[in-house]
Amino acid sequence: GQNIDQPTEMTATEGAIVQINCTYQTSGFNGLFWYQQHAGEAPTFLSYNVLDGLEEKGRFSSFLSRSKGYSYLLLKELQMKDSASYLCAVRDRYDMRFGAGTRLTVKP
Amino acid sequence: DGGITQSPKYLFRKEGQNVTLSCEQNLNHDAMYWYRQDPGQGLRLIYYSQIVNDFQKGDIAEGYSVSREKKESFPLTVTSAQKNPTAFYLCASSIGRAGGDTQYFGPGTRLTVL
């Protein structure tokens, strides 16, 4: 079957670092995406990994290990506006499979 | 400004009525998608279209219908056959359906059936 798992909720402090994990089992693999979604709004694209390793984009980094079926999103220097849901999505062959999302709350 | 628009943002309908959700994009993308988002669940694919006049069922197409008469437009009709239509509906588009083609989302329509 196809499964994408990520923690339901996380809490972190402003200025800190947080790591959101995602594990997946899909019938094929053509890349892993991370999206940010504020409540009631559209998901916005954060990152794309297709090869193993770390991709860095400013305060956000994303890591992929294809052999382990594992990815994480690392958020540094957390800001209050980073409070949102973070969606992990895997493209199997053509279709995107989404996890349920991790709701991150950043506290002062 | 390029982007994806969905209207309306909120929609209320009585049970048994069909309702059509609008999705328009001016990104010149070939592929368009409709997803449904429910609390505690990942986005689920309803329908997708790779090209004008062609569309395919996703994982939960029952009770929904779509059309793709123009590249820019991919409306979704929620029919009375859909057993539990209250949800947040998201439209997305991408250049194509290749591995790295990122999907970009519209602002969503929250449908409530009374």
Which of B50-54, B75-79, B85-89, B93-97 is predicted with the least confidence, judged by mean pLDDT? B93-97
- Whether A43 sits inside 8 A of B42 (CB atoms) is no
pLDDT confidence of residue B39: 86
pLDDT confidence of residue B40: 81
- A32's torsion region: left (phi>0), alpha (psi -120 to 50) or beta? beta
Of residues A6 and B99, the one with the higher pLDDT is A6
pLDDT per position as a tens digit, B34-80: 999 998 888 999 999 999 999 999 999 999 999 999 999 999 999 98
Which residues on A lie below 8 Å from B48 (Cβ)? 95
Q: What are phi and psi of A71, to 5 degrees?
A: -145, 155
- Euclidean distance between CA atoms B63 and B73, whole angstroms: 20
Which residues on A lie below 8 Å from B107 (Cβ)? 41-42
pLDDT confidence of residue A1: 59
- Whether B104 sits inside 8 A of A45 (CB atoms) is yes
Q: Two tokens at A12?
A: 């972190």
Q: Two tokens at A50?
A: 């297709």
What residue type is A8 in one-letter code? T
Tell me if residue A82 falls in helix, strand or coil.
helix
Cβ contact B66:B1 at 8 Å: no
pLDDT confidence of residue B101: 87
pLDDT per position as a tens digit, A32-87: 999 999 998 999 999 999 999 999 999 999 999 999 999 999 999 999 999 999 99
Of residues A2 and A19, the one with the higher pLDDT is A19
- Whether A48 sits inside 8 A of B102 (CB atoms) is yes
